[in-house]
Each structure stands twice: as C-alpha cells, then as structure tokens.
Amino acid sequence: MKTDILIIGAGISGAVLAERYASIGKKVLILEKRNHIGGNCFDFVDDNGILVSKYGAHLFHTQEEDVWKYVNRFGDWYDWEHKVIAKVDGQLVPIPVNITTVNKIFDLDLSTQQEMKDWLEKNRSAIEDPQNGKEAVLDKVGPVLYEKMFRHYTKKQWDKFPEELDASVLNRIPVRTNFDDRYFSDKYQALPKGGYTKIFENILSHPNIHVELNTDYFDVKDKINGYEKLFYTGPIDRFFEFKYSLEEKLEYRSINFVSETVDKDFYQENSVVNYPGMEVDFTRIIEYKHFGDQKADKTTIVKEYTVDTGEPYYPVPNEKNRAIYNKYKEEAEALVDIYFVGRLANYKYFNMDQAFKNALDLFKSLEGKPKRKRITRYEKTGIQKV
C-alpha cells in the first residue's frame, strides 16, 4: 500500500491522527508493536465473562465540546460518574478529600461548606508558592491528611516521596468543601458501551488506514520510505537511541497488574479502592464488574503494583527528568515532518480527553479543516491487520 502518513503506535494519539488523515484522502500506515490496537485503553472480556481493561481502568471525562463530539462519532456511551474510596485507619473514605473524608478521619460533624473551609484554613500549612508535591499537599490539606493519604501512596506510586516530585503532580488532586464524592467534576463523564476496543475499531475502520500489529518501528524503519509525515507516539528517548540517557535515564513508572478471580458476587463495595498506607504493597484494587452493570457468577479483581521496569506508563516529572527531556525536545523540534505526540513522546501526563484534543489540535494546526466529508461512525469496512 502506498503510504502518505506513517504513524508509530495505535493508541489514542495515533488512532486519531490516522482517522483524520484518512478522512482527507491520505493513505495511512500504523505500526504497532503490541498485538492489539487501543494502546493502554485496550479492553477485553475475560474468562469470567467480565469486560476488563488490560492496563488499568480508564475513565473518560472532559469539558471539551469538540472532544466529546468526536468520540461520540465512533460509538455509544453511557453516563458514569466515577467514585474512588480509600482505606484509611481501617475505614473507607472518599477521594478527593471532602466533608465526609474529614468527618470520618477526625470524628467530626462538619455539615456546611463554610465549616469545611474553616477547618481547612485552620489545619493546612499555608504555602504561597509550593515548590514540590509535599508543599502542594500541605498547602491544600495540612500535615495530618498529608501523612495519612498522600505521603506513602505517592511513594508507592512513584517510588519517590512528594518532596521529590513537581508540585504539579499533587496539585492535580482536588479538595472539595462540600459532600461531592465524584472523582471528576467535568461536564461529560462516560464509558463506552461494549468497551474502548470497539471505539478504536471504529476509529480505525477507514479503508485508507492499514494497521500492522506485532511490528516494532525500530526493527523495520530502514525498510520504510516515501511518506510525507511521520507521527511518533512512543518514548522520546528511544527514538533518539537514548543518546542523552546513557548516565541518567529518563524515568518512567510501570504497573504490574495482578488479576484474581473471586468466587462471589462482589469483592468490594466500589469499583476502585485505594490503599494509601504501607500495610500493603499495591496502590489500589479495581473490580471491573462494577462498570456497566455487568452480570457474572464470579468477579474479577486486579491489584496494581507500580514498578520501575516494564512497559512505560507514567513519566516522572521532576527537575532532573525535565532537563534530560529538554535535550530530546530540542532535537525533536529540529526534525522536518516528524512529530512527537502523546504522553510518552512529550514526556507529559495527559488525561484521555487531553490526548484526544492534543491529536485533534495538531492535525488542525498542520492541515486545517478537513476537505472531505467525514465518514459516519458506523460506516465500517474492517481494520486491516497483519
């Protein structure tokens, strides 16, 4: 097949760019080193008959109208307001911190937003310009909640204490002054009916898109030529053969997912339970049966252990890594018609909707508005795979 656009990776960024370029008549080749599309969003039905995610739960939420309209072209979605609870001092409390969290942990009876604001003002450590994750949390909730809910969880998640990370890492976590126990507060919160894999199948169904699975770009790059543009979604340091990482490598965190079958209707009362203490090694347990009102005789739980080795999932944002990344970024910006897209290529954490928007905005900046009629969301011809 003639190739106009070469894309490395069939996750969110790669799939969106493939669909957009296919829609204006370009022939697109995607190389994906895994044996499936969808990147870390890939899900499947397990032996218990439960739809599970291979790489951890992915909860879609957004304020972006254009992103919401885009994803709805490729499948039906159902409302899902995600809630997370954490086991603290032997009891389950809501995350993010809200009035119920404080009442349970401190045995109080706060009932109004003003009472909660007053409590936070009295207990937090006011820091005008937090310089790291610890200062960010202390500024929000004070030392007691920092110790009980954030310090050790961060160490398990990142293998670094909060003071070793940028303030932005912990600033992402909101604190609420009411009883709202939703994890997100975005206008649109939903999950795809039938799972994310079906969404990606529809995105990649355009006849101009050809997907080759089990194909590592670095094994075949010398055999590919003639394309107009290349979009790379993998780790940026690998693209440049780790030239700036020989002594101090860019750090990534990976996750070891340990799945268990439990012979009962449900294992826990919520889809996600976090374990911020050091009494267990895992960070959280996900029970996928809670999503989508699934029915099965047994249930599947997945314990997540964050580790240094394995598939890279999370860039580790701190000053040292940023300095290394900036060297790669400078090299990347000097290249012509090669673009680095997504979390790993930009060494930056993206929520799902941010990944969609980032890819959509990049396409618009390069090509402007599509010149051809968009394919409808169910007008499929099937993905070509090798």
Closest CA to 92 of 239, 273, 224: 273
Helix (H) or strand (E) holding 325: helix 319-333
User: d(Cα 142, Cα 144) in Å, to the nearest integer?
Assistant: 6
Tell me what pLDDT residue 385 has: 36
Helices and strands in the chain, H and E counts: 13, 18
Tell me what pLDDT residue 317 has: 87
**382: CB partners within 8 A, 6+ apart:** 205
Percent helix, strand, coil in the chain, to 5, is 35, 20, 45
Mean of the pLDDT values across residues 37-54?
97
Mean of the pLDDT values across residues 271-296?
96
Tell me what pLDDT residue 363 has: 98
**What are the angstrom distances between the C-alpha of 52 and each of 19, 40, 59, 310, 386?**
26, 12, 13, 20, 25
Mean pLDDT of the chain: 93
Task: Tell me the pairing of strands 384-385 and 209-212.
Answer: parallel
pLDDT at residue 384 tops 50 = no
In percent, the amount of the chain with pLDDT more than 70 equals 95
Closest CA to 43 of 58, 60, 32, 30: 58
Tell me what pLDDT residue 246 has: 65
In percent, the amount of the chain with pLDDT more than 90 equals 86
Tell me what pLDDT residue 1 has: 57
Enter the pTM of the model.
0.91
Structure tokens at 330: 């400078």
- The pLDDT-based confidence of 379 (bands split at 50, 70, 90) is very low
Structure tokens at 81: 């307001």
User: d(Cα 101, Cα 107) in Å, to the nearest integer?
Assistant: 10
Query: pLDDT, tens digit, for every residue of 301-331?
Result: 999 999 998 889 989 988 999 999 999 999 9
Structure tokens at 214: 């089990």
From the number of C-beta atoms within 10 Å of its C-beta (0-12, 13-18, 19+), residue 232 rates as buried
Structural domain spans, the chain: 5-81+190-244+316-385, 101-171
For the ranges 108-112, 150-154, 200-204, 313-317, which has the lowest average pLDDT?
A: 313-317
User: d(Cα 196, Cα 346) in Å, to the nearest integer?
Assistant: 23
Instruction: Please give the residue that has the higher pLDDT: either 287 or 349.
Output: 287
User: d(Cα 45, Cα 263) in Å, to the nearest integer?
Assistant: 17
**What are the angstrom distances between the C-alpha of 207 and each of 1, 30, 211?**
11, 13, 11
Q: Is the dihedral of CA 375, 379, 380, 381 positive or negative?
A: negative
- The pLDDT-based confidence of 139 (bands split at 50, 70, 90) is very high
Structure tokens at 65: 């109208």
pLDDT at residue 172 tops 60 = yes
Regarding the domain delimited by 5-81+190-244+316-385, which CATH topology (the fold level of the hierarchy) does it fall under? Rossmann fold (3.40.50)
**What are the angstrom distances between the C-alpha of 243 and each of 173, 238, 247, 327, 351?**
34, 9, 10, 10, 29
Query: pLDDT, tens digit, for every residue of 353-375?
Result: 999 999 999 999 999 865 444 44
Query: pLDDT, tens digit, for every residue of 198-249?
Result: 999 999 999 999 999 999 999 999 998 889 999 999 999 999 988 877 667 8
Mean of the pLDDT values across residues 38-67?
97
- Contact between 14 and 30 (Cβ < 8 Å): yes
Instruction: Please give the residue that has the higher pLDDT: either 379 or 226.
Output: 226
Kindly provide the b/e burial profile for residues 317-344, where b requires at least 16 CB atoms within 10 angstroms of the residue's own CB: bbeebbebbeebbeebeeeeeebbbbbb
pLDDT at residue 19 tops 70 = yes
